[in-house]
Amino acid sequence: MTPEQVDRLKHWFEAYADGFASRAANPEGYLLKKNHTFRVCREIVSLGRELGLDHHALLLAEAAACLHDVGRFRQLDQYGTFVDDLSEDHARIGLRVIEEERLLDGWDVREAEILRAAVAFHNAAALPGDQEEVALVFIKLLRDADKLDIWRVVTTDDQFRNTATPALIALGMTDDGQYSPEALQAVAEKRLVNKSAISRLNDFKLMQISWVFDLNFPPAVRKVIERGYIPAIMATLPASKELTAVFGQVEEWLKPFAP
């Protein structure tokens, strides 16, 4: 892999994203995913450097980040939503786009396999058990970098934080001021909130808090702490004794990773 290959891929992606945005009556969703993708590219390179990855591995990681959400554009165009359960798994769409656009033609076969695996599993409920360790490193890196930028978006987006209006970033969830016992219990048990437990915006926020238990690399956890993502999400949830108790447990879990 060469820097020129990655640059060509990034230029292709930008033109692809802009094509959807330019013909849309409401381009915000496309621009959201375009900007998210480029930030994930930066996040994954930053994480890789902290982990001591060499130049070649950093290029491969950046390519994976560039491709990871390419399916989102066709998803929004065809279905009008980013909710996979109401449309189609965006990773699967992305794999089709990669093949149809012949984006990896001429690339090293092994590198292309790693990129496809990273795209396929970046949003999976759990890590795959049938991947080689090298591929798993890039899958884990991408999952961590993706979460880091999603946290950035949800802690800075006014529509997500301050209104009950369903937003694209909140996947259409409405805010009734409540949360499900199942979602809270998952966080208390330091496990991921299952999609089946999500029926409202506060459940979605609890799921985002639970993502800290799914991070793979200590530098990613440290970035979460340094940027204050978890307290920022907690501050948007209703006040209750049980929430306060669970938040205390999350903060205790984070302490050993603090810089």
Q: Are the C-beta atoms of 142 and 122 separated by less than 8 Å?
A: yes
| pLDDT of amino acid 129 | 84
Give how far Cα 202 sits from Cα of 84, 162, 207, 215, Å.
19, 12, 9, 21
Q: Extract the residue ranges of the chain whose pLDDT is less than 50.
A: 159, 162-166
Give how far Cα 259 sits from Cα of 52, 130, 219, 254, Å.
18, 34, 9, 10
| pLDDT of amino acid 196 | 81
| pLDDT of amino acid 199 | 81
| pLDDT of amino acid 174 | 73
In the numeric block, which tokens belong to residue 119?
């795209």
CA distance 168 to 46: 27
- pTM for this prediction: 0.93
| pLDDT of amino acid 163 | 41
| pLDDT of amino acid 198 | 85
User: Nearest to residue 36, comparing CAs of 168, 161, 133?
Assistant: 168
Residue type, 205: K
| pLDDT of amino acid 166 | 43
